[in-house]
Amino acid sequence: MSSLARSGLRSAARSATHLRVPARTLTVLASRAARVAPVPARSVPAAVRGMKTLDFAGTPEKVYEREDWPLEKLHDYFKNETFALLGYGSQGHGQGLNLRDNGMNVIVGVRKDGESWRQAIEDGWVPGKNLFSIEEAATKGTILMNLLSDAAQTSTWSHLQQFVTKGKTLYFSHGFSIVYKDQTKVVPPADVDVILCAPKGSGRTVRTLFKEGRGINSSVAVFQDVSGHALEKAVAIGMAVGSGYIYETTFEKEVYSDLYGERGCLMGGIQGMFKAQYDVLRANGHSPSEAFNETCEEALESLYPLIAQNGMDYMYKACSTTARRGALDWAPEFEAACKPVFERLYESVKTGAETRRALEFGSRKTYREDYDKETDAIADQEMWRVGHVVRGLRPNRK
């Protein structure tokens, strides 16, 4: 066991009574996490349901919660609407099944007899009843949920736009196509509401958290409000597709933060940092299992869950004083080293360079095979081959 884990519980117990806790709205997710926290939970003031403005470190922001939109209210609000889900990829799968389970009138539109068509049938969608071609679904739908891939949205818009007729609602889960219209050519007509709900996770997570009775956090935005109720509609759809709580943003800020985040701390940065640390340990004679455990396993299984449940400061206090001292000393070094990279990354997103790269790659006929080659190469790295063995040793896997 590493110095991070030794005496961690004793340290956390001693320090818990000295922690200052800001008032937080307890969502279903947060309250469940508190119940399963592996270290003593802190006292939290009783939450007030239905709050619309919360103080986020001195900045007031509006927050919408599931309790504001019970299922009966959603049924009444959407009683005259037909959700047409265009595309059945990750988000289409998750949001579509959640809408169906919530009792909404939802249909799916995909290319007939393609892979997505077959997947939809396996998930219980019935051809001619709630599974159609994209054109037929777009004709029948009143809320057109464009959940095709970013590249597919670009290539299909010239054909799809004829179905976006007056009075309908055009819905996205990413600001990509609208914000980078110079590249995508996606310009919606002026007589429809254009809204966004962006779950902060993969479509698979949207689905699994919904099935667990929890819910993912999402952002909503309005690009065009013709009806005068576009924001309310976006929030209601966000709840209907399985969100736990929702905050407001803009199309531009959503796509900037999304592209930036997934290339940084969410995915790209994590892979790069994990591999760099692992390689240095191996170069200095550490075994593969030790290098992986000290780089990935302890982070994912022990420390990151503490951050998720209670914050970085709490995770520090749950570790040994030796680990705490080193982390406090080296964090500024990593911040200084990483900040120039993050600044270049944000600029690349803002100028559209990342968009051009994504569209160029996603438009290749061989893009799936090309992506598989690169991700298979990651899977073949020693670090992740070791990880496959380590995960098999976890008691819950037995």
pLDDT at 50 over 60: no
Binding site, residues? Answer: 258, 262, 294, 298, 320
Q: Which domains does the chain have, with CATH numbers?
A: 61-249 (3.40.50.720), 264-393 (no CATH)
Determine the average pLDDT of the residues in 347-369. Answer: 93
* Listed range (26-35, 86-95, 345-354, 384-393) with the worst mean pLDDT: 26-35
Q: According to the model, what pLDDT value does residue 235 have? A: 96
Q: According to the model, what pLDDT value does residue 46 have? A: 35
pLDDT in tens, 122-147: 999 999 999 999 999 999 999 999 99
Q: According to the model, what pLDDT value does residue 398 have? A: 65
Burial of 296 (0-12, 13-18, 19+ CB in 10 A): buried
Q: Enter the tokens of residue 346.
A: 């944000």
Determine the average pLDDT of the residues in 16-21. Answer: 36
Note every long-range contact of 270-275, with CB atoms under 8 Å and residues 24 or more positions apart, other chains counting: 271/378, 274/383, 275/381, 275/383
pLDDT in tens, 150-159: 989 999 999 9
pLDDT at 33 over 50: no
Catalytic site positions? 174
Mean confidence (pLDDT) of the chain: 88
Q: Enter the tokens of residue 196.
A: 């966004």
Measured in residues, the chain has a length of 398
pLDDT at 6 over 80: no
Dihedral pair phi/psi, residue 355, rounded to 5°: -65, -45
Binding site for Mg(2+), residues? Answer: 258, 262, 294, 298
Q: Estimate to the nearest angstrom the gap between the alpha carbon of 299 and the chain centroid.
A: 20
* Listed range (55-59, 245-249, 311-315, 328-332) with the worst mean pLDDT: 55-59
pLDDT in tens, 107-118: 999 999 899 999
Q: Estimate to the nearest angstrom the gap between the alpha carbon of 69 and the chain centroid.
A: 21
Asked whether the beta carbons of 218 and 197 are under 8 A apart, the reply is: yes
pLDDT band at 254 (very low <50, low <70, confident <90, very high): very high
Sign of the Cα torsion 39, 45, 51, 56 reads negative
Q: According to the model, what pLDDT value does residue 43 have? A: 34
Q: According to the model, what pLDDT value does residue 372 have? A: 95
Best CA proximity match to 220, nearest among 277, 173, 153, 273: 173
Binding site for substrate, residues? Answer: 320
